[in-house]
Amino acid sequence: MNAQQLNEAILKHIRPDTFPVGIKIVKSETDLPPASETGHGD
């Protein structure tokens, strides 16, 4: 097995197809940070 075959095997069996996403459940909107702190404010 050469380096390229090893890399392909690792990517096939270990690397996920998607990136993990973190979420946080809050009780009310007041628990959310302002949009200016998250970088999603317009």
Q: Which two tokens stand for residue 37?
A: 């702190």
Question: How many domains would you assign to the chain?
Answer: 1
pTM (predicted TM-score): 0.35
Domain that holds residue 22: 3-38
How confident is the model over 1-42, as pLDDT tens digits?
899 999 998 888 887 777 778 888 888 888 887 776 666 655
